[in-house]
Structure 1
């Protein structure tokens, strides 16, 4: 089982943002379990932490260690 990574993404402020982040993670990590919570600005996923962080950044958001 892959370790879960959790980031706080404070500039993810709406459903559209959440969808963009989710799609970026799904493309980068197709087998990952992904959870996105706009209310708390938390994004969690399984799989390669560095690859997931890069995908979020490339989507235009700023992930910070939670």
Structure 2
């Protein structure tokens, strides 16, 4: 079973932000299940936590433990 990681990304404020984060995670973690809830600023994904966190940071956002 693959563990799901959840981050709060409070500087994700619009659909463009969400799309950028989704694309970064899908590139860094091929095949990962990515879920984004813009209203609550939550991003969840399956796969390597460190790689996912780095992908969000590299996209210009600040993931925080949710």
Decide: shared fold, TM above 0.5.
Answer: yes
What TM-score comes out, normalization by structure 2 length?
Answer: 0.98
Contiguous gaps of at least 5 residues in structure 2: none
Paired with 1:10 and 1:42, the residues of 2 have a C-alpha distance of 8
Q: What number of residue pairs does the alignment pair up?
A: 66
Task: State the partner residue of 2:57.
Answer: 57
Runs of 4+ in structure 1 off by over 4 angstroms are none
Paired with 2:63 and 2:46, the residues of 1 have a C-alpha distance of 15
**Residue deviations 1:30-55, cap 9 Å, x none?**
11100011100000000000000000
Output the aligned Cα RMSD. Answer: 0.4
Task: State the partner residue of 2:47.
Answer: 47
Contiguous gaps of at least 5 residues in structure 1: none
Task: State the partner residue of 1:15.
Answer: 15
